[in-house]
Structure 1
Amino acid sequence: MHINGLLFRLKELADATASPLYLLRGRQPWSVGYYTMKKSCIEAAIDGSAVRTGQPLPDSFGIAIDERVVEYPWLFDRLRRGDRPLGRVLDAGSTLNHEFILDREPLRGADLTIMTLAPEKRCYWYKGYSYVFGDFRKTRFQDQVFDTIISISTLEHVGLDNTILYTNDPAKSEANKYGFVDAIREFKRILAPGGRCLITVPYGRYENFDWFQIFDKEMIQTLIETFSPAFFDLEFFQYGPAGWKRASEMEVIDATAFDPHSGRGRLNDRAACARAISCVQLTA
C-alpha cells in the first residue's frame, strides 16, 4: 500500500474510534467522527438502493450529512439501471476517488479515467484506474472518446477560486460565474453518441462563496441548453432538520447552503453544506 493510503487508513481508524464522541456531541457536521458516520450512511444507501428514480427517500434520511449521501446513491442507481454498458468512463472532478466507492459495482474494475486540477494524496492506479490532471474546459481527449461522464458536485467550482482548496496555481483564482459552460461544451465533445453525462450541483437561490456557487434555475437551463441533449432527466433533493427528501423545483428555488470553511450560511438545521441539489442526466 502507498504510504499516503496507509496514513489515510490510520486517520479513518482514529475517526471511527471517536465516533461515540460525535454522537454525544449531537452529530455536528465535520466534527471528529463525522467522516465515519457519513461513510457508513453512504455505503448503506448505495447497497440498499435508497435513492431510486421517482421514489421517496427513507424517513430521516441523511440527517446532518452533506449532499454526498444523496449524490452517490443517485449515481449508482443511474449507472446500474442503464440500458447500455458503462464503456469508457470519465470522472470529471475526482469525486469517485474513494476506495469504498470504487470497490462497488459497476465501478469496480471499470475502464475509468479520473480527472482533476492537481494530484491528490490518495490514488488507486494499482487497481487499473487512470489519472489525468488539467482543466475540464480544455482537455486533450479525442472527440467522442467516453461513453459515460460523471461530474458530482464539481461544476460549481469551475471558473471560481480553486486556489482555496484544490491547487496552488494562481491562474485558477477566477471569478467567472459561467465558467461551467465551457466545461459542458467539452463534455459534449468528448462524449460518444448515445452516451450519458451524469451531473450534480448545489441548487437554490444563487450565491457565490468564492470557491463554489449555488446554481439557480437559469444556470441549470443554461447547462442543459449548452449540452443540447437528445434526452435529459432532472431531479431535485432538499435538506431540512428531518434529513434529505425528494423535492420539486419550486420547493428548492430559494434553498441556501452552509460553507464549512468560512462558516457562512450556518443555521440550526445541522446542514453540512448544500440544502438542495439538482441531479441531471444528459444523453448525447
Structure 2
Amino acid sequence: MMLHEDKFEFLSYRTPASETIAEALPFMAEVNNYTTSNGTTLEKSSLVRDVGVNMSEDLSWSPHINLMVDQANQIASWVLGVFKDRTKPVMMQLYKSLIRSRAEYCCPLWNPTKIADIHAIESIQRNFTRRISGMKIMNYWDRLKELNLSSLQRRRERYMIIHVWKILHGVCPNDIKMVFKENSRLGTKVVVPPLTKTATALAKTLYDNSFGVKAGRLWNTLPRDVNTQCQLECFKAKLGSYLDSFPDTPPTPGYTASNQNSLIDWFSQRGGPQMAR
C-alpha cells in the first residue's frame, strides 16, 4: 500500500515531567522528528487535527476547546449579523442547527473537567441566548428553564451515557473493553477499572477524566428502570426524564452553585455515591 507521506504529521505525546528529563538526553534531536521510507522528514507538531478533533502533545483538550469555541462564536456573530429576527422560534432554530451542533461535535471524547474550559464552552450558549427577545434581563440559569434548554455541560454528559448504552447493546464497538455486570437490584452497571495506589497525581487526573472512567461513573448513577431499557428511543426518553429530575446550574462567572453541576455531583448529594463508583 502506497501512502501519501506528505499528508502525515508527527505528534509525540509527553508530560511536563518527561519533557524536562528528555531535554537532557543526547539523542533527543533524533526523536523530535520522523523520517519516512522515502526520506521525507516530518517535524514534530504540537497540535494535530484528526477527523475534526485537535490533539495536543501535552494530553490536554484545552487547545481543541479554544479553537472550537472561537469557531462557534464566529458563526454566532455571522448569524446575528445576517438575521435580524430575534424572536424565540427563529433564534432557537438557528442556534440548534448552526451553532450548538459545532460545539458538540465528538464531545464524549474531549468532555472537559477544567472549570475554565466549561466556562468557555458554556459562554457560547449564554451569550447567544441573551440576544433572544425578552431574555436579556434574565440570568442564564433562568433562561435555560424559560427556553427549555439543557446546559451544554449536561448535554455532553447525556451523550456520554448514550454512548455507553450503544456499547452495551453492540451498536458501537467496545474498543475500550468496557466491562458490565448485572445486579438484581440496581440493574446493569459498569465495572470502573481500578487505578494503582502508586499512581502519580497526573496519572490520577488523566484516569478520572478518561471516557472509560467518567462515562462509567455517569452510567452507574442511572436507576434500574433506565439502565435496563433495550430500545434506544425508550432509553433516551427515560434518560431525559431522569436528567430533568436534577437541577441544571452550570458553572458560570458571577453565579454561586452548590456543586460543579455534574450528574455525579448531584447524585452524590442525594446520597448515592456508592452506586457511581
Q: Same fold (TM over 0.5)?
A: no
Which structure has the larger Rg over C-alpha atoms? 2
Ranked by relative contact order (alpha carbons within 8 Å, sequence separation 6 or more), the top structure is 1
- More helix, by proportion: 2
When normalised by structure 2's length, the TM-score is 0.30
